[in-house]
Amino acid sequence: MNPGRVILGIDPGTGRTGYGAVRQTGDEVEFVECGCISTDPKGTREERLLELHRHLSALFERIRPEVAAVEELFFSRNVTTALSVGEARGVILLAAAQNHVTVTSYNPMTVKETVAGAGKAGKPEMTQAVMYSLNLSEKPRPDDAADGLALALCHLIWEGLDS
């Protein structure tokens, strides 16, 4: 039996990193798991990044994705937030490299256009599109997890267009 291949979508953040995994077997795509890695807000920046790395390493080891689709850092007026997300993204790239996982990156507008059909789609539209695409009866929680699933779906769609 072909177990298929797992695509892991990751929405970076130091405080909360959302993730969602899907499995593709032939033309079929199925939900594997989703969730959110939260770090201790009382920890130092270094401690939080280390905690994120530990959780990501365990996640990569457990689900063994072939590809990780990671949201690109978008321009932010809040420099502190942008730096924090950039640091988290660096930790994600490191964990992927340590686990020999290929990384692809997508900007938020591309993910929204690809999955929901509109570059300015909001959280409710994105969640509905993810639920429909994966035939889910319940909303992925929290929103960061739905974002992770959307990234994984976006990758599969773009990969199909490139074939």
Residues annotated as part of the active site? 11, 71, 144
With beta carbons less than 8 A apart as the criterion, state whether 84 and 14 touch: yes
Separation of alpha carbons 36 and 64, rounded Å: 17
DSSP state of 120: T
Name the token pair of 148: 């992770």
**E strands in 39-101:** 67-71
* Among the listed residues 43, 39, 44, 81, the one whose alpha carbon sits nearest the alpha carbon of residue 56: 39
